[in-house]
Amino acid sequence: MIFHFVDLDPQSPDLSGITWFNLSAIQLGLVVSGSLYGALLGSLLAYAIADFLGRKRQLIAAALLYIVGGVVTAYSPELGVLLAGRLLYGLGIGLAMHGAPLYIAETCPSQIRGTLVSLKELFIVLGILLGYFVGSFLIDTVGGWRFMYGFSAPVAVLMGLGMWTLPASPRWLLLRAVQGKGSFQDLKEKAIVSLSKLRGRPPGDRESERQIEDTLLSLKSAYGQQESEGNFLEVFQGPNLKAFIIGGGLVLFQQITGQPSVLYYAGPILQSAGFSAASDATKVSVVIGLFKLLMTWIAVLKVDDLGRRPLLIGGVSGIALSLVLLSAYYKFLGGFPLVAVGALLLYVGCYQISFGPISWLMVSEIFPLRTRGKGISLAVLTNFASNAVVTFAFSPLKEFLGAENLFLLFGAIAILSLLFVIFSVPETKGLSLEDIESKILK
């Protein structure tokens, strides 16, 4: 769940509830972006420990970091403690963004994998929307920012308890078995029991045994009798490199097509069109959040029906068109504010049926099992690093280019991303993870 500290005016002497409210621009920037830097560190941490911890324990660790980070931030007596809390919370984000799509993809049937992984994006949007609602209710509350951050802790408790009841990923258990990280037979039996539980079957049933044997056969066929873990360089070799180009490319274009920057203009655009909600930034956020939620739900319903490529191609085409329209609005269509409103909603809607959910779905599917944990951590790192660059560069670029040329630049990047999708991104609908590895990455 993501909250916006600045919405609650921490620098207000009347509403902040603190004596150290007079933050400098740099200090406020560190508070706002602290979780992003924590997420970057969390991505690096996931690269080092994810395959050792396993998907389940990684998500439990993320929940614990959310709890500690939320509580520390909410009760922080000074700026240093507040920044530490934001960093801890960000570490949880990095681990969760890595572990969640990985666990879902490795445990669910291929027929509904797209739906379930896309639901992760839906609940992220729901969490953001809930954060906006909490912010709008606490906007005039003294020390309201403390309640806002603290509200994340009980939600994280539910996440941790939920993961505690779920079994470990069967594919991760088999990977450990092949790597010689424990008794082969014991890990194989645990994988069968885990798969049986996930499919709602009796423990150790024959169908689960057959599926585990098939997965083992595929794993051994792909890597022979090698028992070592995939190393850093292996991620950039052969099929792993192809997978990283696809997954890393998608999450890179997800950010550098301007998603954080376009939403920056939501308030001014709606205000120019005469929408009363635009007078309050928190209300604008709720309106945009509701629309994002609706469009993400459409993607969830259609991703396993239409497939990944049609949603990506259609959505990214809409993103490019919306950015050109926004550039035209600021260049010579300033008298037609409804054009800007339509372009803004087109951008948000198209992003939420394409890059929003599909990028992370493809990332969770495309990497071979041997290097999946490390590959996804590098993709997550790419995502957060590009997000940080776009966020940092936005103001200087806006000053240098002007809004009209900045949107035109993002539009050109969107066209490049569309070409990337058309020529580089495969269709994975209905394929098992083993089929993707054997048929697409070879």
The enclosing domain of 420 has a CATH number of 1.20.1250.20
pLDDT confidence of 429, banded at 50, 70, 90?
very high
Q: Are residues 341 and 429 in the same domain?
A: yes
Q: Are residues 244 and 196 in the same domain?
A: no
On the question of pLDDT at 17 being above 70, the answer is no
Look up tokens 């389940």; give the residue: 56
Task: Look at the chain and report how many structural domains it folds into.
Answer: 2
Q: Are residues 213 and 345 in the same domain?
A: no
Q: Are residues 265 and 130 in the same domain?
A: yes
If one compares 163 and 280, the residue with the highest pLDDT of the two is 163
Q: Are residues 129 and 211 in the same domain?
A: no
What are the phi and psi torsion angles at 182 (to 5°)?
A: 165, 180
For 45-68, the pLDDT digits (tens) are: 888 888 888 999 999 999 999 999
Q: Are residues 157 and 200 in the same domain?
A: no
Which of 159, 194, 223 represents a domain boundary (last residue)?
A: 223
DSSP string, 236-286: GSHHHHHHHHHHHHHHHHHHHT-HHHHHHTHHHHHHHTT-GGGGSHHHHHH
Q: Are residues 323 and 421 in the same domain?
A: yes
Q: What is the pTM of this model?
A: 0.83
Q: Are residues 20 and 89 in the same domain?
A: yes
DSSP string, 280-317: SHHHHHHHHHHHHHHHHHHHHHHHHHH-HHHHHHHHHH
Q: Are residues 399 and 264 in the same domain?
A: yes
326: enclosing H helix or E strand: helix 308-331
- What is the residue range of 175's domain? 170-223
Rg of the chain over Cα atoms, rounded to whole angstroms, equals: 22
Q: Are residues 207 and 302 in the same domain?
A: no
Closest listed residue to residue 53, CA positions, set 173, 203, 227 = 173
Q: How far apart are alpha carbons 35 and 70 in whole angstroms?
A: 11
For 188-217, the pLDDT digits (tens) are: 999 999 999 998 888 878 888 999 998 888
pLDDT attached to residue 415: 97
Question: Can you tell me the mean pLDDT for 360-367?
Answer: 92
Q: Are residues 202 and 154 in the same domain?
A: no
Q: Are residues 126 and 202 in the same domain?
A: no
